[in-house]
Amino acid sequence: KLSLIVIKILLLVGFIIFFGFAMSEKYGTPAFPIRGNVFYGNQGFAMFILVACAVFIAAWEIILRSSLVRLIQFISRANRNRPAWIRISKLLKRVAHILVFLAVALYVGLTVAQPRNLVSLIGIFALIILGTLGSKYPHQIRWKTVLYSFILQFLLAVFVIRVDAGFELFEFLGQEVTKFINNADAGAKFVFGETFEQHFYVFKITSIIIFLGSVINVLYYYGVMQYVIGKLAWLMQKCLNTTAAEVCIHILYIWG
């Protein structure tokens, strides 16, 4: 088993080296060269991101996950029967929750230029209060789930709106998705001819729907979608303290 893991690691390292040379214009004329700005005028960046994600997933499945699981199991076994450790861990969790809340509140207080922008907070608190008052079982509300749902949305908004790299990243992703969807035009042109855009909905939109449906079905066949959905569901389950079935349903809505 150890020799098999070593072989997989060597193959992974060899692929990384090969991919680096293949993306460089110094050693040929690659189809997707790395050049220019990270997000603009860089043909190879989308391919680089896909390969980097694939390499990380492979490294995680081969080495990192098992090592991390063994480390966590060792720590839990060593401190399972220590009351002091249990009290400290609970205290650290509470302190972490308080620090996260204070950090968000401090950021909002220091970065809001006009008090009018805080009006939206009234709507958020009003929805929470009305939902609590209208609930038949308010004592069963998981406030950690409610709090971290808003915090995750807030962090995503800050990353996209306030951080230049975040805005450029999502703009780049939007452009790449548009390029990918436009590949359906080649099939529509082949089947319906050059004038397919004159019947925009029937020939162009329907072709995009069929194209995306086919791609997603292929990804399902090879297990890619199951892996992505499972990992996103695991992440949201850990962050929001919800059940796995509930999270999977919400994740599936993205590709529904």
**What would the pLDDT profile of 158-214 be if each residue is shown by its tens digit?**
888 888 888 888 888 888 888 888 888 888 888 888 888 787 777 888 888 888 889
pLDDT in tens, 122-144: 888 898 899 889 888 888 888 88
The answer to whether residue 98 is domain-embedded is yes
Do residue 119 and residue 90 come from a single domain? yes
Here the tokens at position 254 are: 């993205």
Q: Which of 119, 139, 159 is the last residue in one of the domains?
A: 139
Is the same domain home to 5 and 47? yes
pTM of the predicted protein model = 0.65
Quick one: 64 and 107 in the same domain? no
Which is nearest to 162 in space by CA: 226, 112, 117, 233? 112
Question: Token pair of 225, please?
Answer: 């979608």
Domain span at residue 98 reads 86-139
Question: At 143, which amino acid appears?
Answer: W
- Residue 232 located in a structural domain: no
**Does residue 146 carry a pLDDT above 80?**
yes
One domain, residues 16 and 52: yes
Considering the domain architecture, whether residues 71 and 7 belong to the same structural domain is answered as yes
Please indicate, yes or no, whether residues 70 and 38 belong to a single structural domain of this protein: yes
Q: Do 9 and 56 reside in the same domain of the chain?
A: yes
Domain boundary among 78, 105, 128: 78
Task: Quickly list DSSP for 142-206.
Answer: -HHHHHHHHHHHHHHHIIIII-HHHHHHHHHHHHHHHHHHHTHHHHHHHHH-TTGGGSIIIIIIH
Q: What is the pLDDT of residues 24-64, one digit of tens each?
A: 766 666 655 555 555 555 566 777 777 888 888 877 777 77
Give a yes or no: residue 210 inside a domain: no
136 compared with 71, residue with greater pLDDT: 136
Domain count along the chain: 2
Q: Is 248 within the bounds of a domain?
A: no
Tell whether 250 is covered by a domain: no
Does residue 13 sit in the same domain as residue 63?
yes
202 lies in some domain: no
Confirm if 138 and 132 have CB atoms less than 8 A apart.
yes
Quick one: pLDDT at residue 42?
A: 58
* pLDDT at site 44: 67
List Cα–Cα distances, 228 to 53, 165, 219, 232, 255, in angstroms. Answer: 11, 24, 10, 6, 11
Are 114 and 134 in the same domain? yes
Transcribe 107-143 into DSSP letters: HHHHH--SGGGGHHHHHHHHHHHHHHHH-S-GGG--H
Q: Evaluate if residue 153 carries a pLDDT over 70.
A: yes
Sorting pLDDT into bands at 50, 70 and 90, what band is 218? very high
Does residue 130 sit within a domain? yes
In the listed set 61, 78, 95, which residue is the last one of a domain according to the structure? Answer: 78
Question: Does residue 68 fall inside a structural domain?
Answer: yes
71 and 93 assigned to the same domain: no
